[in-house]
Amino acid sequence: MYKAAVIGDTASVSGFAALGLTVFRETGPERIKKLISRLAAREFAVIYITEPAAAMAADTIKKYREEPLPAIVLIPAIEGNTGEGMKALHEAVEKAVGSDILKN
């Protein structure tokens, strides 16, 4: 059985605890990177991470992009939506099609 985790600052992720997701309140770049690697090695299939937290560990997240598990999904933090999550989608399109056809 796999589990799902949420990483981010306290205010953004506390609500997910009620849903039964495992919540990690981390804001330091190094700790987030380590945490992602640790969760990926253990039985976490889905990791939701807030956009500001993801920005701090962009290279680690990129590393897991081509692995079948875990799926790392960006979610908006309490400060608002930065559009990083959509950007990842556009990147995937650009990679596959050769140009970003979703732009407009």
DSSP 77: B
User: For residue 80, what are the contacts with CB-CB under 8 A and spacing of at least 6?
Assistant: none
Contacting residue, 20, 59, 99, 103, with other proteins by CB under 8 A = 20
**Could you report how far apart the first and last alpha carbons of the chain are, in Å?**
41
Regarding 15 and contact with other proteins (CB under 8 A), the answer is yes
Contacting residue, 41, 80, 99, 104, with other proteins by CB under 8 A = 80
CA atoms of 9 and 20, how far apart (whole Å): 17
Regarding 58 and contact with other proteins (CB under 8 A), the answer is no
User: For residue 61, what are the contacts with CB-CB under 8 A and spacing of at least 6?
Assistant: 36, 49, 54, 72
Regarding 65 and contact with other proteins (CB under 8 A), the answer is yes
User: Of the ranges 1-9, 32-40, 52-60, which one interacts with other proteins (CB under 8 A)?
Assistant: 1-9
Q: Which residues bind other proteins (CB under 8 A)?
A: 1-4, 10-12, 14-21, 45-46, 48, 65-66, 68-69, 71, 73, 75-78, 80-81, 85-86, 88-89, 92-93, 95-98, 102
